[in-house]
Amino acid sequence: MIDLRSDTFTLPSPEMRLHIASAEVGDDYYREDKSVNRLQDYCKELFGKEDALFTTTGMLANQLTIISQVARGNEVITEYGYHINLFESAQHAAFCHVVLNGRQTVHGVLRVADVISALESKPRESVYAQVQLISIENTINSRQGKVFPFEEIRNLRRFTQRCDIRLHMDGARLFNAHVVTGTPLATYAKEVDTLSVCFSKALGAPFGSMLLGPAEVIKRARRLRVWYGSGFHQIGVCAEAAYFALTRQLGRLAEDHRLTKLLSERLARLPELQIDPDRIETNMIFLDLSCLGVSAETFLNKCRQQGLLILSFLPNTVRLVISRGVTEEDINKAADILASVISDCLKDKDLHRQSLYKAS
């Protein structure tokens, strides 16, 4: 079975398992876990941030950065399609008690003009919600792994500094952006107040994310992490896996990007999909199934029957993600399976059209 559902399905390599087994551990609650301390110190230096906090997930890291910087009843401006809005809005309402102002943008890139529009979209007197944070995403999941243009991040930074608003980057897949653009991680981090990065996606670690930012924010986040039930004790085994992934497996993301481009070129031969390989930037491809007359659920079931696992993202959209463990042979097989399934769908569509014609 070829699995292209998500880069969260990556498994620890044999080398990573050896490092996990030999990890030095202590009680992280008392900051005595050497593996956690090493990972946090390494990330502080790598990203050039004042402090860092190891968290269970990227969703928790985002929760902590919001609850640590935004007062109850105040507002976070973001883009409608970002993970923080599509998949985390319930948590932010229930636990952080903040308002998310999600804006529809061109290609998913939240620009200064979009932020100004959001600021002007409602009353801003002191009795109403005040904007305290802007949250962006890099890469952009809902836009098939698009890299957030660095110059637009810099523009947002200048704007937020003038307006005394904090800027957060959900960098769950920032490592992909770093590899494809060559932009140093510290250069990205310099333009935002806080950021989160994930170790358990393309890097291949089994667990964890890192929240980075000013010392006072991380101090609050560390306290609140315990409130969320994520106070760690001997968690060094997971920190060691993340450290290994970050120091040994970061460069191999370029291979994921190469294979993704290869698959997009194969799929571009199928005119029904209207795939443009030039728009594929990192490790994701989205397929719009509208022209096939089938739902995403039906399409992925047909793919599964032929040995390919993909993800239903929207009712008429499926997502393919290439990550560690996927080979060039897998890519070619996946392209053949997709071509076969699309052919079957088109035949079914024609038969349905003919039956309707006869019935009339």
pLDDT tens digit sequence for 114-160: 999 999 999 999 999 999 999 999 999 999 999 999 999 999 999 99
Q: Enumerate the domain spans of the chain.
A: 10-248, 253-359
CATH class given for the domain over 10-248: alpha beta
Residue 171: alpha-carbon gap to chain centroid: 6
pLDDT at 353 over 80: no
pLDDT at 106 over 90: no
Distance CA 257, CA 215 (A): 35
Tell me if domain 10-248 and domain 253-359 are identical in fold.
no
CATH of range 253-359; options 3.40.50.300, 1.10.260.40, 3.30.70.890, 3.90.1150.10: 3.90.1150.10
**304-324 burial by CB neighbour count: b if 16+ within 10 A, else e?**
eebebbbbbbeebbbbbbbbb
58-62, 291-295, 339-343: the lowest-pLDDT one = 291-295
The predicted pLDDT at position 346 comes to 87
Q: Tell me if 287 sits within 8 A of 342, measured CB to CB.
A: no
Distance CA 71, CA 75 (A): 8
Band the pLDDT of 352: cuts 50, 70, 90: very low
